[in-house]
Amino acid sequence: MTENSKERLAERRGQETQVYQPAEDSALLAKAVCKAVRQSDRVHEIGTGSGWVAAQIAAETGASVTASDINPHACRAAADRGVQSIRADMFGPFVDNAFDAVLFNPPYLPTDPDEEWDDWMEHALSGGPDGRRLVVPFLTGLSRVLSASGSGYLLISSLTGYEAVESIAAENGLTVESIHEQSFPFETLFVLKLTRYS
């Protein structure tokens, strides 16, 4: 990432360099998942960032919501919003069938390796060369932690490659349904609902 574009990103994100702050994509994910979740559900957000989405879902649905992030500053931010947070790498420390709903707003923007920088915000924004750096481990590990009737909710951009994501999901025994989408000038954002083949 050039110094110039890094600055623009920092500006877009309100100068924040430690924790990804809620943006359009966060609101989209929160809205879609709130409609899908029931009060009795055990809900978990992977890569919670500021914890805003998890807190919204807890407040609006009354469901039991936990959140995790690899970034200690994000874990702190989520805890400060009243969300039980856990420092974790993806699904590492979660038991089989733990959740009825798992949501993830991953770093989904393709990022040139030469343009990477090195702080927590980079980790939160960069999806690697194809935008799927963390989408793939999410789709690979999801089934194990979902309850029998559970669903995953994944936010992606058209820049992440809808069909590529769909085919990786299929390889992992998951069906994909787009439950919400919104167009922006340079991309379309989708909230995908992922369920196991029955």
Partner 1 sequence: MKESLLDIICCPIDKHDLELEVDEKDGDEIISGTLTCPECGETYPIEDGIPNLLPPDMRDEVTA
- Number of residues assigned to the chain: 198
In angstroms, rounded to a whole number, what is the distance separating the alpha carbons of residues 63 and 156? Answer: 24
Contact with partner 1 (CB under 8 A) among 93, 129, 167, 177: 93
Nearest to 66 by CA among 44, 50, 48, 96: 44
Site string (40-79) toward partner 1, x via CB under 8 A: --x-x---------------------x---x-x--xx--x
Is the distance from CB of 157 to CB of 188 less than 8 angstroms?
Answer: yes
Residue 101 in contact with partner 1, rule: CB under 8 A: no
Give the residues across from 195 on adjacent strands: 175
Pairwise CA distance, residues 120 & 110, whole Å? 17
- From residue 121 to residue 160, the character string flagging contacts with partner 1 as x (rule: CB under 8 A) and all else as - is -xx-------------------------------------
- Applying CB under 8 A, the residues found at the interface with partner 1 are 18, 42, 44, 66, 70, 72, 75-76, 79, 84-89, 92-96, 98-99, 118-120, 122-123
